[in-house]
Structures are given as C-alpha cells and as structure tokens.
Amino acid sequence: MDQVVVVERKPEDATATTTEPVTPVSHKSAKPNGMKVELSPLASRPKNRIRIFVEGLLQSARREGEPDSKTGEPLPKRLDLSLGDPTALGLAPPAEAEDAVVSAVKDGLMTTKQVHGYQHSCGSPAFREAICEEISPGVSSDSVFVTSGCSQALQFALTALAKEGTNVLVPNPCFPLYNTICEHVGAEARSYSLLPERGWEACLRDLDAKLDDNTCCLLVCNPGNPTSHSYSQDHLCDLLRFAYDKRIPVVADEVYAHMTYDPRADERSTFQWMADVASQQLGRNRPPVLSCSALSKRFLVPGWRCGWLALHDDAGRSLAQAGISNGIAALCQIGMTTNSMAQAAAPLVLRNTPQSYHDSLNETMRKGAAYCLERISKCEGLECPSEPSGAMYMFFRVPEARGHADGEGGDSSDVVFCRDLLSEKNVFTLPGFLFGSPNFVRVVSAAPMAVLEEAWDRIEDFCKGR
C-alpha cells in the first residue's frame, strides 16, 4: 500500500459529546407585556429526531468514573460510535486539504476578492468548474450550484420540487434529514421499504404501491446511510426506469460517492453517479436527476460545508421547462452560504488529492466493516442481514426483547439496547428507530481499529450480560 495517509489521532477525541445542549423552545410563550412574538410554522415544523433523542439520552447517562449501582465498578471512558463524522474519531482529511487552505489564503495566487470577498450566490466559478470536472466533464457549470454541504443541496432540491399536498418517496430506513426537510416544506415524506436481506435494495413492489398522482420525486441514497449499501448498476437502472415510467424526477443523495469497498469485488465495488447510469443505460428514456453531494465525507471535511447540487435534465428538458434551475438560483440568493475561503480551497482539494488517499480511506472503511462483522458474529442475538459495501456504518439487528430490560416502558428493543449499552459500558450508538428501523442499531465502523476493538469488547461483554 502507499504511504498511510489516514492519520489516526489520539482516541481521546472519541469521548467528545456530539451536540451542545439546546434551550427548549416553547411554542406558546407567555406574553406578559403583550409583545407580539409568535413562532412561525416554518420554524416550528422541522424536528431533528437524532438531536432530540441524543440530548435526552445523554442527560440521563452516567458520568465517566461514576460507580455502577450494583457492582460498584467505575464507568469507563466513553466511546462514541454514534456520529457520522470520522474526524471526531481521529481520521483526518488529506494533507492536500490543509495545503489548499494555506495556499488559497497565503500564496497570493488568488485575488483578495476570490478569497475574502462575496462570491457569486450560486458558487464561485472556479469551484463550479472543478465540480463539473469531478462529476462529469459533460456537465455545464450553469447546472451546478454550490451549497452548504449535501444537506443544503437536499434542502434546495426538495424545496424546488415538493410543496404542501405532494409526497416524496423516501427510503426506509434513511437519513432522517429527508423527513425534516419534507416537514419544513409541508410535503409528506412517504416511505418505501428497503430489503435488509437483499443488500438493502428498494422493494420495487412497495415503491409502486406508494406512488400516487401527488408524488413529486423519488429520493435514492447511494451509497447508503445508515445501511452502508452500495447498489449495483442493475438496481440503479431499475430505480431510474421506475422514475421514468412514472414521469417523476430522481433526487440522488450521493454524499458517499466513490466510498465503496465490496469485499467480493464484483461490479458493486465501483461507484457510479445515478446521472451517468441514466444517460448511459437509459438514453432518451431517462428521468431528470438532481444529484446532491459534498466534500464532507469523501474528503473528511464535513465542517467546511462544501457541497453541491447538480441538475441533470432529461431528453425533454423537463427541469429547464419547469424553471427548476432559476428556482434553485433564487434559493441560493437567500443565504449566500458556503464561505469564500472554503470555496477558494475546494478546487485545489478536488484536483490535488491523490487517489492513494481515497484508496487508503476505503481500505480503512473496508477493514472496519469486516472487523465489526467478525465481532457481531460472536455476539449472540446480533445479526447483520447484508454485509456493508459502502459508506461507513454497521447496521445490525438486536434481539426483539433483551432479557433484563423486558417490559420497560414500551421502548423498542433498539432503544433499550442503546440506552443500556451507554449506561453500562459507556459505548454510544444510535437506535435504528431514528432512521425508521426499530430493532436495528447503527455504529460508525470507520473508527480507528483501537477504538473498534475496545468498543466491541465492551459490546460483547454487554451481550453476555457481564
């Protein structure tokens, strides 16, 4: 292997808590002096399910060093496998990312305006060009919009397509931001099932059953979170064909683009953009694809907030005719988000990061996933229905009712598992209900091996009731 570019930092970082406390907002605030202050529906509708759950859980969690009420044993240091941010676990971005920031700011190659000034609201020309090079040289930079991470790309795509009275077909389980955005725009997030034993592929029959006249788009996440699937070209074709037959556009969450590592090294180990599959395999009979991605996961710089939305129109130019591009441009003008320094550095990151960095990161993910699988097989009751082949998670089943927690307050088995594992062993994981799959648990498998080993020793003990 090339020199190891994924630097493992001290695992202290792994103890960092994931969220700052938020002051609860009361919807009916008292108005002692008759002041006209009222929370609008736009601000009160979106709910971040993960944040709400995590805050509740951490408030009641035992502190490190606190003795167990029964055994008296002090609680060990927290191992946090909850957050989809490997920088919290010690994985580092490519050296080229740091160099890019320094050179953007210091080398004098760019103008003051390029580094510090206002950029075009749709993104700096240089970054938009670099994105086109990255995704597909045939794309015009006019159809690429720079956004604050993949999150805002998804928000803009769904805001442009969905409205009150419409529904968006979203996978189940899924990244819960889709639900939050739909709540915000007043549209229904309508779940279609992914099949756990079949590589988390979409159930096409269920898709068909869920679609109706008010469906405004099909959302597909590939590679997937929380399921770490990576779809074959055939399955992507099935999904695209479905969308074309039903005359709806596809919103593709491709924030884990190229982060695949299928151990069987079949065609699934190569990532393909949905828009490329659409134009290469379906030709004129392709649906429009709105592709959302970012530097966040692949270059391990989620805090930079550098993402993009790329519009790939169909043969009939449906997006153009509906004015979607103008709509997205209008949304971009509201916030003028991604800051100029990150935009100045981003093209250098895209161009200069060597393939060996990505190979090494994918290898870290492959090893992490393989290790988690091996350890799961030794924990009675835990089961992983489909091997991970992309992204950086392990999503596994936990037993329906776990011995000593029986009958507790009606919580699903995943919630009981995560809560007890945190309070007994101080390993922090997320319950599947947050993603729509109760009875599953998600851990981040792209952690340094030392963290994974310690975490799985504790999980194994926990499963054995030790």
Ligand X SMILES: *Cc1c(COP(=O)(O)O)cnc(C)c1O
- When asked if residue 227 is in the footprint of ligand X (CB under 6 A), the reply is no
- When asked if residue 231 is in the footprint of ligand X (CB under 6 A), the reply is no
- When asked if residue 149 is in the footprint of ligand X (CB under 6 A), the reply is yes
Distance CA 260, CA 148 (A): 24
Phi, psi angle pair for 12, to nearest 5°: -50, -40
In the bound complex, what is the minimum distance in angstroms from residue 226's beta carbon to ligand X? 8
44 with 27: CB under 8 angstroms?
yes
Taking the least distance from each CB to ligand X, the nearer of 244 and 393 is 393
Q: Return the C-alpha torsion angle 349, 355, 358, 359, nearest 10.
A: -170
Given 84, 171, 196, 368, the residue binding ligand X (CB under 6 A): 84
* Part in contact with ligand X (CB under 6 A); list of ranges 148-156, 314-322, 326-334, 371-379: 148-156
- When asked if residue 302 is in the footprint of ligand X (CB under 6 A), the reply is yes
- When asked if residue 337 is in the footprint of ligand X (CB under 6 A), the reply is no
In the bound complex, what is the minimum distance in angstroms from residue 297's beta carbon to ligand X? 6
- When asked if residue 151 is in the footprint of ligand X (CB under 6 A), the reply is yes
* Part in contact with ligand X (CB under 6 A); list of ranges 11-19, 63-71, 126-134, 144-152: 144-152
- When asked if residue 253 is in the footprint of ligand X (CB under 6 A), the reply is yes
- When asked if residue 170 is in the footprint of ligand X (CB under 6 A), the reply is no
Taking the least distance from each CB to ligand X, the nearer of 78 and 297 is 297
In the bound complex, what is the minimum distance in angstroms from residue 352's beta carbon to ligand X? 20
In the bound complex, what is the minimum distance in angstroms from residue 462's beta carbon to ligand X? 26
For residue 443, how many other CB atoms are within 10 A of its CB? 26
- When asked if residue 290 is in the footprint of ligand X (CB under 6 A), the reply is no
Given 145, 175, 396, 456, the residue binding ligand X (CB under 6 A): 175
230 with 223: CB under 8 angstroms?
yes
In the bound complex, what is the minimum distance in angstroms from residue 189's beta carbon to ligand X? 14
In the bound complex, what is the minimum distance in angstroms from residue 274's beta carbon to ligand X? 14
Given 86, 196, 249, 307, the residue binding ligand X (CB under 6 A): 307
Distance CA 280, CA 200 (A): 24
- When asked if residue 294 is in the footprint of ligand X (CB under 6 A), the reply is yes
Taking the least distance from each CB to ligand X, the nearer of 18 and 423 is 18
- When asked if residue 435 is in the footprint of ligand X (CB under 6 A), the reply is no
Taking the least distance from each CB to ligand X, the nearer of 306 and 324 is 306
* Part in contact with ligand X (CB under 6 A); list of ranges 2-10, 11-19, 281-289, 292-300: 292-300
Given 221, 257, 344, 418, the residue binding ligand X (CB under 6 A): 221
Taking the least distance from each CB to ligand X, the nearer of 90 and 149 is 149
In the bound complex, what is the minimum distance in angstroms from residue 302's beta carbon to ligand X? 4
In the bound complex, what is the minimum distance in angstroms from residue 306's beta carbon to ligand X? 8
How many of the chain's residues bind ligand X (CB under 6 A)? 14
Distance CA 293, CA 295 (A): 7
In the bound complex, what is the minimum distance in angstroms from residue 393's beta carbon to ligand X? 9
Binding residues (CB under 6 A) for ligand X: these are: 84, 149-151, 175, 221, 225, 253, 255, 294, 296-297, 302, 307
